[in-house]
Amino acid sequence: MTSIGRIEFKSLGKDNIGYLTPIEASEDIPFAVERIYYIYGVPADVRRGFHSHKDLKQVLICLNGSVDILCKTPYEEETVTLDKPNIGLFIGEMVWREMFNFSEGAVLMVLASRHFDENDYLRNYEQYINLAVDYFGGNK
């Protein structure tokens, strides 16, 4: 899917001493990071998200455990499993997302390109689709 991408960060170390993943924000993240938040303690049967952002880029990293991320536009759809702390999922603007299948102890960290702004959310799917068709110009 063109509006999302996988980012592999370094994983320094080995099994007998453990691992360290550095993120050099200006080199490893394709935008200037303005906000960090994390989601945790989510029961296995809960689905979160159900929205898009008009003007926000994010990178999602599952620091512990695993979680599935459904990403969707009017033209494409992909579900990505995040289960390694050195793998990031980039999500661009105007992508509908739902997060589900949180494992026990899952911690989902998100690096965001802007400060929190509820006005940037599209939480109504019909409204999202109408704007997204215009945004993507009928192209994938």
Interface segment toward ligand T46; rule CB under 6 A; list 18-26, 35-43, 71-79, 127-135: 35-43
48 binds ligand T46 (CB under 6 A): yes
37 contacts ligand T46 (rule: CB under 6 A) = yes
The DSSP code for 128 is: H
Integer-rounded Cα radius of gyration of the chain: 15
Q: How far apart are CA 59 and CA 7, in angstroms?
A: 9
Q: Does 58 bind ligand T46 (CB under 6 A)?
A: yes
Work out how close the CB of 119 gets to ligand T46 at its nearest, in angstroms, rounded to a whole number: 12
Q: Which of 45, 40, 93, 44 is nearest to 71 (CA)?
A: 93
**Is the four-CA dihedral 79, 83, 63, 31 of positive or negative sign?**
negative
User: Which lies closer to ligand T46 via its Cβ, residue 39 or residue 129?
Assistant: 39
Instruction: Please confirm, yes or no, whether 51 is among the known catalytic residues.
Output: yes
Amino acid at 116: F
**Contact residue for ligand T46 among 19, 38, 40, 116 (CB under 6 A):** 116
Query: Which residues of this protein are in contact with ligand T46, per CB under 6 A?
Result: 35, 37, 39, 48-49, 58, 60, 97, 99, 110, 116
